[in-house]
Structure 1
C-alpha cells in the first residue's frame, strides 16, 4: 500500500462538514463512508469544515481544516494548507471530493493522484433555485467546472444527477458511476411500535400523522404540501402533518399555515435531533417527500423505509429510484398540491396500496445498508486506481 495510513489502499476524503454538526446529505454520505470504507479495504483520512469534534469523534481519522464561520479567503487558504499537509503525512493513493469549493484551491497539489468526485448535487443550480444572484451562481458553476475537469471518475446518487452531469457539466458518460445513498438500517429498525413511539414523543395517538423531514427552503415543496393539506383536511378531517427541519422559509411557512387556517392540522417541529429521528419515522403513519426540483436522491425517504414506514415521493429527480424496487404505489402522479392531496388521501384511507413495515425494512437493509453502499463505492475507487496503474483489488467498476 502507498502511504503512511495502514490497512489497505489509502483515500483522502475532502468533505463539506462533519455530520453530527451539520445535517446535510453530503455530510451524511461523507460521515458514513469514513466509517464503512475500511470494511471495503480502504484506509481513510478526511478533512472537513467544523470544530475539533470531528477529530475527537473519528479517532483522528477526520480533521477540521477551518471552522464553518471562516471567511471565504481564510477557508480557501486553510483548505489548500490542510490538503497539502494531509498529502505529505498520509500519501494517499486516491483523493475523493465531496464539495467543489473545499477542493478547488488544492487542485495543483492533487495533480499526481487520481481524483474521484462525489456529485451530491449541482451547487450552482441549487443556489439559483434558492434565490442567489446571477453573479454568485456563475462563480459557483465555474468552481464546479474547474474541479470536475480534473476528476477521473464521478459517483452520482441517481440517474437524474447523472443526466445533469452529462448535460450541464459536459462530463463523459463513461466517467459517471451511479451509487445510491445509504442508510444505517440497524439504527432505524427500533423495537418500539407506533403507539409507544408516539407516547415517547408526545404525539397524539388517535390521529393519522403524515411526517416530512426537510430543510425549509423553496425547492423542497413545502408550500405545495401546505396547500394540499387544505384538500386533505376535507377528505381526512383529523389528519395531522408534522414538518421536521429548519431553514430560511420557516417564518413564511408559519404565515401560510395561519393564512390557510391549518393551525390544527400542521405543526412545525423545528430541528429534530438525529437520535430521535428513528422514533419520529416509526411514530408516523406515512412520510412524504414533496420535492419540486433538484432532488438527487432523498435520504429521508430511505430513513423512513428503514424505520418501517412507507413514504410517498413526487416524480422529481432521483426520488422514484429510492422506492422503485418496492411493491406499492409510492410515486405520486405529480408534484403540485392536487397530486399531493390525492396521494395522501388515498394512502390514509386505504385506497392506495402501500408496503408494510417488514417489506420496507427488508428492502432498505438489502439494497441500501451502508456496508453494501461502501463496497460499491470502493469498486469505483478501484476502477480509478486501475486506470492510473496503481494497485486495486477488483479492477474497474462496472
Structure 2
C-alpha cells in the first residue's frame, strides 16, 4: 500500500455545528485536515441530512440525534454495512463507543483505532451514581476498546485511565493532543476593539470561562473564588459562557454571595463569537474538578493570545505547563483559584504574553500539526495488524 494513501472510516457522535462539544469539534477538525496528510475520510454520525453538505460530502448522518436509542443503534449498523459495501476502508477510527458498538463484526479484517475522548460512562454519572446503567456503559466501552489495534488519548492522564479502568494494554496507547484551528482564534483585533464589539466595559479587568454548566466543570468553585477576588480587586468582572442543568443554581449562588455586579452568566456563545470573548479578556480560567482529559478551551484561549489559569486536574497541566508552570494553579478549589486570579492581576504571578501564547498554540496544537500525528498512528495500526 502507498504510505500516503489511506482510506479511513470515522465513526463520530454528532456534527459540531449541530451539537457542539469537545469530541465533536475534534472529530470535525480531523475530517477537515486528515486528507492533507494522505488519509481520505468517510464518516458517520447522528445528525440531520444537512451533515452531508456541511461536511463536503464526507460524512453521512445515520439517524437523527434525538431519535430513539434502538433506532440509532440499528441504523448505525445499517450505515456501516452500506459503507463497507461501497468500499472496505483501510482503517476504522471510532470516536464514540455507543455508535461504534453496532459496527463490531462488520469490519473484521480491518485494523481499528479508538480515539478515547473521555470515559463516557463516568462522565454521564460524574458523582459515581447511575447503578446498572453506568456499569452497562462502561462494559460497552470495554467491549469496543478491546478490539482496537491502537488507542489515541489526549494526555498521559487519560492514557492511565484507559489502562486502569478499561484494561487496555499500555503498549497500544498513543498520546496525541487535542487540536484547534489557530487561525479561527487568532483574530486581528485589539482587546479594546473586541470589547467594543461585545459591548463590554473598557475600564474593568475581564475574566472569561466557557464550560458546560455541570458539576465536574468547577463553576461553583470559580464563583466562590470571586468572593475572595472582589474585596481585593473590586473592579474585576467574570463572564461565564455556556449552558447546562446548573444554570439556575449558579445564578442563585451568584446572588447569595452578592456578586451580581462581578459575575455574569452570558449563556451560549456562538462559535464565531468565542474568539472575540477570549481576545477581550485579560485572563481565562478552566476550574475543572474531575475527568478532564485535555481541555480544548485552554488551547483556544492561548491561540487567541490570552493566558489561561487551570486547575491541576487530569490532562490540563500537560496542555499548558510546557509553556509556563505559572499557568497551573496549586490545587483545585475556590481558594486556590481566587488566590491565583489575584496574584495574576496584581502582577505577582507572571504569565506568558500574547505572542508567546499564540506561538505555543500554533506550534503544538494547530490542526495540521495534530492531524499529521493521527495519520502516523493510523499507519502504525495498519502495519501492526
Range class of TM-score, shorter chain: over 0.9
- Give the whole-Å Cα distance in 2 for the aligned partners of 1:136 and 1:193: 49
TM-score when normalising by structure 2: 0.98
- Give the whole-Å Cα distance in 2 for the aligned partners of 1:217 and 1:85: 38
Give the superposed CA RMSD: 1.2
- Deviation per CA, 1:115-168, whole angstroms, max 9, x where unpaired? 100000011111221575212101100110110111111000001100101111
Q: Does 1:111 align with 2:90?
A: no
Q: In the alignment, is the contact (CA less than 8 A) between 1:295 and 1:319 conserved in 2?
A: yes
Instruction: Measure how far apart 1:40 and its partner are.
Output: 0.8
- Deviation per CA, 1:257-293, whole angstroms, max 9, x where unpaired? 1111110000001110000111110000000000000
Q: Does 1:154 align with 2:151?
A: yes
Of residues 158-167 and 85-94 in structure 1, the stretch that sits farther from structure 2 once superposed is 85-94
- Give the whole-Å Cα distance in 1 for the aligned partners of 2:161 and 2:315: 11
Q: In the alignment, is the contact (CA less than 8 A) between 1:13 and 1:96 conserved in 2?
A: yes
Name 1:291's counterpart in structure 2: 288
After the TM superposition, which segments of 4 or more aligned residues of structure 1 sit over 3 Å from their partners? Answer: none
- Give the whole-Å Cα distance in 2 for the aligned partners of 1:85 and 1:25: 28
In structure 2, stretches of 5+ residues that fail to align are none
- Give the whole-Å Cα distance in 1 for the aligned partners of 2:117 and 2:212: 15
- Decide which of 185, 199, 203 is 2:200's aligned counterpart: 203
Q: In the alignment, is the contact (CA less than 8 A) between 1:328 and 1:355 conserved in 2?
A: no
Say which SS state the counterpart of residue 9 (structure 2) adopts.
strand
- Decide which of 170, 173, 176 is 1:176's aligned counterpart: 173
Q: How does 1:96-107 map to 2 (within 5 A)?
A: 96-107=93-104
- Deviation per CA, 1:151-202, whole angstroms, max 9, x where unpaired? 1110000011001011111111000000000011111111100000000001
TM-score when normalising by structure 1: 0.95
Say which SS state the counterpart of residue 329 (structure 1) adopts.
helix
Name 2:30's counterpart in structure 1: 33
- Decide which of 272, 277, 280 is 2:277's aligned counterpart: 280
Q: Does 1:271 align with 2:268?
A: yes
- Decide which of 66, 69, 73 is 1:76's aligned counterpart: 73
Say which SS state the counterpart of residue 158 (structure 2) adopts.
helix
- Deviation per CA, 1:9-30, whole angstroms, max 9, x where unpaired? 1000000100111111110111
Instruction: Measure how far apart 1:8 and its partner are.
Output: 2.0
- Decide which of 246, 256, 259 is 1:259's aligned counterpart: 256
Say which SS state the counterpart of residue 163 (structure 2) adopts.
helix
* Paired residues, number: 384
- Give the whole-Å Cα distance in 1 for the aligned partners of 2:286 and 2:170: 29
Instruction: Measure how far apart 1:90 and its partner are.
Output: 2.7
Name 1:326's counterpart in structure 2: 323
Say which SS state the counterpart of residue 350 (structure 2) adopts.
coil
Instruction: Measure how far apart 1:221 and its partner are.
Output: 0.2
Name 2:190's counterpart in structure 1: 193
Name 2:54's counterpart in structure 1: 57
User: CA distance change for structure 1 residues 303 and 112 in 2, over 3 Å: closer, same or farther?
Assistant: same
